[in-house]
Amino acid sequence: MLEPEGFLAIADLDKEDGSFHADPTGVEHKGFSRDRLVRQMMDAGFTLVSMETVHHIEKPGRSGPQRYPVFFTTGRMRVF
Q: What is the pLDDT of residues 23-60, one digit of tens each?
A: 878 888 899 999 999 999 999 999 999 999 999 999 98
| 51 in Cβ contact with 69 (< 8 Å) | no
CB 12 within 8 A of CB 70: yes
Contacts of 73 (CB under 8 A, 6+ apart): 9, 10, 11, 34, 37, 38, 41, 49, 50, 51, 52
Query: Where in the chain are the domains?
Result: 7-65+73-77
Among 41, 52, 53, residue whose Cα is nearest residue 7? 41
Record the pTM: 0.83
Give the Cα separation of 11 and 43 in Å (integer): 19
Mean pLDDT of the chain: 92
